[in-house]
Structure 1
Amino acid sequence: MSDIILAIDTSIDCCSVAIYKKKTIYSLSENCKKEHTIKILPMIQKVLINAKITLKDLNYVAFAKGPGKFTGIRISIGVAQSLSLSLKIPIFGISTLSILAEKAWRKYKKKKILVAMNAKIGQVYWGAYIRNSVLLWTGEETESLIKINEIEDKIKKFQKNWILIGNGWEKIKWKKSLKLEKKEVLYPNAKDIIPFCLLKIKNQEFLHFTKISNNYLDNLF
């Protein structure tokens, strides 16, 4: 049987789960705000049923490692780490901002993505992502927690072909920059974790459950 991957995301208000099996992705997504703990396990069970597999069939598990809400990230880490340990399978942690970039690519086929996601008052999580010729995203090194007024200065240097995604742009005065375009991508989805996992599997970049890390940028929530 081909590799089977379970991906989960509880990093912000949406809770989503996806399974990759034989080049098919089965997924569920729900806006649940503070009910991640209640929703995540039943959603995993439902996707397993849809994919006609059990937990024992999984070969890999992946999670959105943030940035995002502290509690949500801890839920993703806890569930993924427990599965990795009990099933003795590798684990992957993927940046939430890069997952948003991948979702924008899936929906709009754009390769230059500016991500801004709501943080605490007056600040957003920021990242600038570029998709290269081997379908790999670069930009995780640009991720930061940044003041809104600093972003308004920062975006002045970006040329055309960059698009804006994430719920943080609702707070930012970006319309003066006529070269930029905002797209309707507000929340990540676990199905967009899958391409990162496939690339890591191909490159044999496996992690043990003891080596996972989060990406809080700042403990805000």
Structure 2
Amino acid sequence: MSAKILALDTATENCSVALLVDDKVYVRSEVAPRDHTKKVLPMVDEVLKEAGVALAELDALAYGRGPGSFTGVRIGIGIAQGLAFGADLPMIGVSTLEAMAQGSYRKHGAEHVACAIDARMSEVYWGRFARQEDGTWSPVDAECVVPPSVLAENSTADEQLWRTAGTGWAAYQNDLEGIQFKTEEGDVLFPDAEDIVYLAQFELAKGNTVEAEAASPTYLRDTVAWKKLPGRE
């Protein structure tokens, strides 16, 4: 695949931007929980200048659609929409949970990843993903927001070893110790635009884009979590 895509994400404590130009990726990333609005646009300018391209030359603009911080997700989508409107670019929303799965593969070659972001209110944003031969990811559990104790109680054992990703594992370590499937500790805590831009390539190739005004977040708070767990569909 050869495309020019800009991606940005502010859904968690991490603020990141990545630019894909003809298979080369230019990245900026910084954990800055309260400075997303100050950091993200300068990062965009830096990667565009480094690559020597203008915003209007791109094929699409990708963004982390959530789940994550309510404010952070809104900031990211709002800034991405503004950029897309100005340059008349289509937009691609990418799951922050799936992006962490891709980050775990990029760093460690993990092909089965269990993602849990601390959602506060004694809950986690949850999703498990298995990597496919073409480089895409297939969801094993539907994304949901769920109390970790309920997640553990309703989990089932399988043959896979799942690499953990996200802040939820440390935040609710005691509750998640009851998980029935096998896990190994991972070090990917946040989604990163570098992985969002990688995943966005597949969506662009499939034509899965939206106009800027139709870009929407994924909050999951209105999801009935226990109905989404294995065996509860």
Q: TM-score, normalised by structure 1?
A: 0.91
- Please tell me whether residue 211 in structure 1 is matched to residue 222 in structure 2: no
Cα contact 1:114–1:164 (8 A) shared by 2: yes
Residues 158 and 123 (structure 1 numbering): CA distance in 2 closer, same or farther, change over 3 Å? farther
Structure 1 position 57, deviation (Å): 2.3
Runs (4+) of structure 1 moved beyond 3 Å? 173-178
- Please tell me whether residue 180 in structure 1 is matched to residue 183 in structure 2: yes
| Residue type at the aligned position of 1:84 | A
Number of residue-to-residue matches in the alignment: 218
Structure 2 residue aligned with 1:201 = 204
Cα contact 1:126–1:145 (8 A) shared by 2: yes
Equivalents in 2 of 1:91, 1:178: separation in Å? 36
Structure 1 residue aligned with 2:226 = none
RMSD between aligned alpha carbons? Answer: 1.9
Equivalents in 2 of 1:184, 1:156: separation in Å? 24
Cα contact 2:14–2:30 (8 A) shared by 1: yes
Cα contact 1:98–1:140 (8 A) shared by 2: no
* Secondary structure of the structure 2 residue equivalent to 1:216: coil
Structure 1 position 136, deviation (Å): 1.7
Structure 1 position 146, deviation (Å): 0.4
Equivalents in 2 of 1:3, 1:67: separation in Å? 26
Equivalents in 1 of 2:120, 2:194: separation in Å? 27
Structure 2 residue aligned with 1:146 = 146
Q: TM-score, normalised by structure 2?
A: 0.87
Structure 1 residue aligned with 2:96 = 96
Equivalents in 2 of 1:206, 1:187: separation in Å? 24
User: Can you list the C-alpha shifts for 1:50-86, whole angstroms capped at 9, x where unaligned?
Assistant: 1122223222101001111111111111111112212
Residues 208 and 158 (structure 1 numbering): CA distance in 2 closer, same or farther, change over 3 Å? same
Equivalents in 2 of 1:145, 1:132: separation in Å? 25
Structure 1 position 172, deviation (Å): 2.8
Structure 2 residue aligned with 1:113 = 113
Equivalents in 2 of 1:140, 1:191: separation in Å? 23
Structure 2 portions without partners, runs of 5+: 223-233
* Secondary structure of the structure 1 residue equivalent to 2:187: coil
Structure 1 residue aligned with 2:16 = 16
Equivalents in 1 of 2:110, 2:155: separation in Å? 17
Equivalents in 2 of 1:141, 1:154: separation in Å? 12
Equivalents in 1 of 2:144, 2:194: separation in Å? 24
User: Can you list the C-alpha shifts for 1:12-44, whole angstroms capped at 9, x where unaligned?
Assistant: 101000000111000000111011111111111
Residues 164 and 155 (structure 1 numbering): CA distance in 2 closer, same or farther, change over 3 Å? farther
Equivalents in 1 of 2:163, 2:129: separation in Å? 10
Structure 1 position 140, deviation (Å): 8.0
| Residue type at the aligned position of 1:124 | V
Aligned identity (percent) is 32
Structure 1 position 178, deviation (Å): 7.9
Q: How does 1:32-51 map to 2 (within 5 A)?
A: 32-51=32-51
Structure 1 position 193, deviation (Å): 0.8
Structure 1 position 210, deviation (Å): 2.3
